[in-house]
């Protein structure tokens, strides 16, 4: 047990790298997902088909395959098309690019389904009482869509946390990469203890994320019920 605790302490500093690619990929993936969702919900048929096609391709591609495509293919693409050498980019950059593109597809579907789950009549009612389209979206549609999307958002972050560990295959030294190095340096003498320590860290993070989103779901559900009650009483 003492050895497992020692390995946990050794691995913890490398969580900074894990958090870096998780948060950065989530940030850019959310922006990209919003653009794709807007295209799917828009009236432009060409953009709609392009967004749907992109999402389908991403859903059919294993994340590890896409990681290799980005890591080995992107430098070749830049070198042959623009004469730019990006071989010097850090491995974390390729991990972030991979999961930004990967998350964009998933998050676009979450956003699209959450938006469509809100009754269109609420938007029309808000506009009819004098709110602008932007105000109606911001004050009426967005809060409800956000509440609906929370469970899937939590699952997406858990997916990113676990799938991002594949970055060690291309040389990323996060907690997974460090565990792999420790195991190699010790010739597999304590492989069970190393990966038990790693599992403890992932379990703690996953449980923490799940509880956070359970709290947020309850909080937003409570606020929505209060708003509905106030609206009913005023009516």
pLDDT in tens, 132-161: 777 777 777 777 888 888 888 889 999 899
Q: What pLDDT does 189 receive?
A: 75
Could you give the C-alpha distances from 189 to 130, 155, 186, 206, in angstroms and in order?
71, 35, 6, 28
- Alpha-carbon distance of 125 to 97, in angstroms, equals 41
- Alpha-carbon distance of 94 to 113, in angstroms, equals 29
- Alpha-carbon distance of 143 to 211, in angstroms, equals 20
Segment 156-176, tens digit of pLDDT: 999 899 899 899 999 899 999
Q: What pLDDT does 139 receive?
A: 77
- Alpha-carbon distance of 235 to 231, in angstroms, equals 6
Q: What pLDDT does 109 receive?
A: 92
Segment 186-205, tens digit of pLDDT: 877 778 999 999 999 999 99
- Alpha-carbon distance of 173 to 179, in angstroms, equals 9
Segment 9-58, tens digit of pLDDT: 999 999 999 999 999 999 999 999 999 999 999 889 999 999 999 999 99
Tell me which residue of 44, 147, 47, 163 sits closest to 106, measured CA to CA. Answer: 163
- Alpha-carbon distance of 187 to 53, in angstroms, equals 46
Per-residue pLDDT band for 231 (boundaries 50, 70, 90) equals very low
DSSP 83: -
**In the chain, domain spans:** 2-234
Q: What pLDDT does 129 receive?
A: 77
CATH code, 2-234: 1.10.3720.10
Tell me which residue of 21, 6, 34, 55 sits closest to 177, measured CA to CA. Answer: 21
Per-residue pLDDT band for 225 (boundaries 50, 70, 90) equals low
Predicted confidence (pLDDT) at residue 234 exceeds the cutoff of 50? no
Segment 52-86, tens digit of pLDDT: 999 999 989 999 999 999 999 999 999 999 888 88
């Amino acid at each position: 047990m003492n050895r497992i605790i020692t390995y946990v302490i050794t691995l913890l500093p490398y969580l900074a790298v894990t958090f870096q690619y998780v948060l950065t990929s989530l940030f850019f993936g959310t922006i990209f997902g919003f653009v794709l969702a807007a295209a799917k919900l828009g009236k432009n048929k060409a953009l709609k088909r392009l967004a749907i096609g992109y999402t389908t391709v991403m859903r059919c591609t294993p994340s590890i395959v896409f990681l290799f495509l980005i890591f080995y293919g992107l430098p070749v693409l830049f070198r042959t098309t623009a004469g730019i050498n990006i071989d010097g980019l850090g491995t974390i950059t390729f991990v972030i690019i991979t999961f930004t593109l990967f998350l964009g597809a998933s998050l676009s579907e979450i956003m699209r389904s959450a938006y469509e789950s809100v009754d269109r009549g609420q938007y029309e009612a808000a506009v009819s009482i004098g709110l602008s389209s932007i105000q109606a979206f911001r004050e009426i549609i967005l809060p409800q869509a956000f509440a609906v999307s929370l469970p899937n958002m939590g699952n997406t972050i858990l997916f990113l946390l676990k799938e991002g560990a594949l970055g060690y295959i291309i040389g990323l030294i996060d907690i997974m990469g460090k565990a792999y190095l420790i195991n190699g340096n010790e010739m597999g003498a304590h492989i069970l203890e190393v990966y038990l320590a790693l599992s403890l860290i992932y379990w703690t993070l996953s449980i923490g994320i799940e509880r956070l989103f359970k709290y947020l779901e309850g909080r937003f559900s409570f606020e929505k019920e209060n708003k509905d009650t106030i609206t009913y009483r005023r009516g």
